[in-house]
Amino acid sequence: MAQNTRTAPAGTPTDVTQDHVKGGIGESTLRPDGTLKVTGEFAYSSDMWHEDMLWGQTLRSTVAHAEIVSIDISEAVAMSGVYAVLTYDDLPAEVKNYGLEIQDTPVLAHGKVRHHGEPVALVAADHPETARRAAAKIRIEYRELPVVTDEASALAADAPLIHEGRDDHHSGHVPHPNIVHRQPIVRGDVAEARKRADVIVEGEYVFGMQDQAFLGPESGLAVPSEDGGVDLYVATQWLHSDLKQIAPVLGLPEEKVRMTLSGVGGAFGGREDISMQIHACLLALRTGKPVKIVYNRFESFFGHVHRHPAKLHYEHGATKDGKLTHLKARIVLDGGAYASASPAVVGNASSLGAGPYVVDDVEIEAVALYTNNPPCGAMRGFGAVQACFAYEAQMDKLAAKLGMDPVEFRRLNAMEQGTLMPTGQVVDSPAPVAELLRRVKARPLPPERQWETAGQGADVRALPGGLSNTTHGEGVVRGVGYAVGIKNVGFSEGFDDYSTARVVLQLINGEPVAMVHTAMAEVGQGGVTVHAQIARTELGVTQVTIHPADTQVGSAGSTSASRQTYMTGGAVKNTCEAVREKVLEIGRRKNGSYHPAWATAELLLEGGKVVTDGGEVLATLADVLEGEDVIDIELEFRHRPTVPFDLRTGQGDGHVQYTFAAHRAVVEVDTELGLVKVIELATAQDVGKALNPLSVVGQIQGGTTQGLGVAVMEEIIVDPKTAKVRNPSFTDYLIPTILDTPTIPVDVLELADHNAPYGLRGIGEAPTLSSTPAVLAAIRNATGLELNKTPVRPEALTGTL
């Protein structure tokens, strides 16, 4: 692995707080759950067990669009070991639908099914195999209906309506009921700007449906309680959002649905929506026994949303000296049968659809469709990924038509701090787009045709095709490609984005110990590590305990949108500051009468001591806390406000922060066999402040690898005639393994955003944007082919499509 670097230009304010506390921010402290995970000892939600528990099973539709004529559960109910069989008619409350933004998803299908794999019935039994056999005995008669699978069939005059009589807050400005949401972005005069263009390029781009492919399938345990409520232990991304959707369907007040986060085996957006949570609770409340549900891999592909597939049409113009004149684009996202996060994905795709470039005259329209395809929602990059694939291909086309270097063309048009976004929002923090591109281009290239220079003993893993040994290098061509992307951080468009933290400071056996309690879902991003680092830094203590995440503390929002370090980290920092002030208040009360330094405002907690800003030690923290009650403070933290985009023009300060990443991909392509080996994916990213440098690099490398996956192998295949999923398994849905993952050298910039805690930027999503188009650009560079679809398949490279 190439060496990773952290740099900041001279004069850049990166030291925005005291970060010299051992184990504090700025250090690569190790994850508390790391050893347990790599040794297989970590307890995931699927590992939970309860005495006398039952097993739940979901029966799913075998067709994509059909009326439910009848459901016969008699054989299933009669089976030994079966405790309950539930259908829609058994739901206990008036509320029977749920959803993130639009409550259009039924807990169990009623009247009709709208996609392949939709839940229709539930079974609880004393053994998982008994539950599966019982579910198989439920007889459902369907009357199949025509399927809607694309824009043409969704918007036709006689198109079947996916949701008849829909009535929601988006329906007033969409031209057809099968459109979930529409967002135009209009600034300037594209028609007039088009006249100034010396060159114009157009492109049609197709982005495939990607799965989050987290390794831990959906699972959880619901335990009925004596007060008539239920305790749910579950792997999720947002406990409080789940709670607000679960409680009304159960007919319970929120305080009787107590949720605790269990071990999460990855998420990437796929756990933002409800999966088995409501089903397990329903079965537990019906049977009076604990109920565990664990999806197998096949069911997992039907149990969560996916990344929206997209079709994008882009037109750009530029002057002969390389300046962009205008952009006109239409982005069509397939949202599938239910809304999920589609409205927010549309907002991101449209508002970020111009990329990190200065272009004054813009017309963008983004829509999300209702279809009978699998529901799509949140996935890492969230709308910006699809747009980046298209606009970066356009940048290469323009550079080629103008005879310019593709990196220099991008740098010439790169935005910077102070640039006006197409939404009218000013980018008011560092935007080092040109510098990121310069850095990835300046990095030395890896050696060419390494198998030849290594001689006869060359490692076959260096060849295109890897260990499959399908080629020995005949017809192999190298390609190099570049891309850069822009991503928003945090919830946008006026959403009340906040996070809550509770911090407790007390003496235990004479030593000050801090406890941090939040509802943040730790899904592998390392938030629990950062929270301890923040507490050490702000309170000057060594011992920090992280309380398990649950709904007994205020919401932390979703672990998504690259927001948790900013938002829940900000909440921890904010609350620790309040705790620190309480400590100093106690110290002043105890000691102010005989030491005048206590009266000064600049007192710090460092290494378990109270010190002045000049370094004079006034007291130990233990002495201050001796005889005092526990300091226990819970506070909320909010970022600066945003506003919804205007539904006619798309204008408005809709985002709180922007983040940027650039990639250079180096590939070797066997043009005869259609094999691609990605040799290197070098990246540069501005993170504002690296609170944990090791975790930062890991996040960037992970996001880069997911972008690689969608570039060359990952796609859920849906039959266009039946809307059925054809590859719901890791046998047929391929994801990158360690043998597919290239060298990923990382160049980390730290240019502080002074609106954010510690000057940090969210980092998790940005590398997923630009890695995909960089790989495609490199393959185009090697082959000369247009390649406007992801993923690139061998037949596209050999002309056998």
Q: Is the pLDDT of residue 356 over 50?
A: yes
For residue 259, the model assigns a pLDDT of 98
Measured CA to CA, the distance from residue 698 to residue 704 in angstroms comes to: 10
Residue whose entry in the numeric block shows the structure tokens 């590992």? 47
CB atoms within 10 A of CB 769: 34
Rg (CA), the chain: 27
Tell me the mean pLDDT in the region 92-121.
Answer: 97
Task: Provide the token pair at 64.
Answer: 């994509």
Nearest to 648 by CA among 133, 75, 183: 183
pLDDT at residue 800 greater than cutoff 80: no
CA distance 521 to 527: 8
Amino acid at 261: L
Please state, in angstroms and rounded to a whole number, the distance separating the CA atoms of residues 716 and 334.
13
**Does pLDDT of 628 surpass 70?**
yes
Q: In the 3-class helix/strand/coil scheme, how is 140-174 assigned residue by residue?
A: EEEEECCCCCCHHHHHCCCCCCCCCCCCCCCHHHC
- Which residues, other chains included, contact 646 with Cβ-Cβ below 8 Å and sequence gap of 6+? 652
The answer, yes or no, to whether residue 78 has pLDDT greater than 80, is yes
Q: Are 59 and 71 in contact (CB under 8 A)?
A: no
Alpha-carbon gap, residue 609 to 626, rounded angstroms: 13
Cβ atoms of 220 and 262 closer than 8 Å: yes
b/e code 312-339 from CB counts within 10 Å (16+ = b): bebbbbbeeebbbbbbbbbbbbbbbbbb
Supply the pTM of this predicted model: 0.95
pLDDT digits (tens, 9 = 90+) for 478-536: 999 999 999 999 999 999 999 999 999 999 999 999 999 999 999 999 999 999 999 99
- pLDDT for 326: 98
d(CA 294, CA 320): 59
Residue 449's pLDDT is: 75
Among all chains, which residue has been given the structure tokens 């694939």? 389
Q: pLDDT category, 1, cuts 50, 70, 90?
A: very low
Judged against a pLDDT cut of 80, whether residue 638 lies above it is answered with yes
Mean of pLDDT over the chain: 93
Q: Locate tokens 């056999």: which residue?
A: 133
* Confidence band of 12 (pLDDT split at 50, 70, 90): very low
In the chain, what's the furthest Cα-to-Cα distance?
Answer: 87
Average pLDDT over residues 690-714: 97
Alpha helices in 367-460 (DSSP H): 384-402, 406-413, 433-442, 450-453
Q: What does the pLDDT read at residue 469?
A: 57
Find, among 506, 539, 533, 745, the residue nearest to 626 by Cα. 506
Express each pLDDT in 143-194 by its tens digit: 999 999 999 999 999 999 999 876 555 556 788 999 999 999 999 999 999 9
Structural domains in the chain, sorted by start: 46-145+217-264+271-303 (3.90.1170.50), 154-176+187-211+312-379 (3.30.365.10), 409-490+656-798 (3.30.365.10), 498-638 (3.30.365.10)
Cα(576)–Cα(584) distance, rounded to whole angstroms? 12
Q: Which residue has the higher pLDDT, 645 or 801?
A: 645
pLDDT exceeds 50 at position 792: yes
Q: Is the peptide bond before 444 cis (omega within 30 degrees of 0)?
A: no
Residue 172 has what pLDDT?
A: 64
Edge-to-edge strands, sheet with 82-86: 82-86, 119-125, 54-60, 291-294, 219-224, 230-234, 257-261
617 strand-pairing partners: 611
